[in-house]
Amino acid sequence: MIKYSLECNQSHTFDAWFSDSLNFEKQNKNNQISCPNCSSLKIKKSIMAPSIPSKNYKSDLLNEKKDKVEVVLSKVRKHVEDNFDYVGDKFADEARSMHYGEKEEREIYGETTIEDAVDLIEEGVNVKPMPGVDPKLKN
């Protein structure tokens, strides 16, 4: 895709996307491009600066995506904290008791060791790590 800056014979400027330069030429020749301001069909390419990514383009893009992911994970974490019962370091015991029918099932969250989490998973208990960063651990 190519983005062109275009100008009509009334000096209105606008941008448009084309699959390639030949597509622009064909549409322009067949009067298929019109000015969004005045509907003129007399269109030409105007001067435009090339889009040159910065040295840090990839890094900036990755950081932007990372930031968006962190926002989503933080929202999920907030939902869990607002709607599930916090059981602290009794998580493994509570999850296991509910799994084996010793306690009524409910949505819970809390802390446990890696070893206990692995044991729960091996027993078939449906557990997941808490998404996002604990607000108490943020700088």
3-state helix, strand, coil in the chain (%, to 5): 45, 15, 40
Q: How confident is the model at residue 133 (pLDDT cuts 50, 70, 90)?
A: low
pLDDT in tens, 18-55: 988 899 999 999 999 999 999 999 999 987 666 666 67
Strands 43-45 and 85-86: unpaired
pLDDT in tens, 81-118: 999 999 999 999 999 999 999 999 999 999 999 999 99
pLDDT in tens, 54-90: 677 778 888 888 888 888 888 999 999 999 999 999 9
Whether the pTM exceeds 0.75: the reply is no
- 13 backbone dihedrals φ, ψ, rounded to 5°: -110, 150
pLDDT at 51: 65
User: CA 88 to CA 97: how far, in whole Å?
Assistant: 15
pLDDT at 2: 86
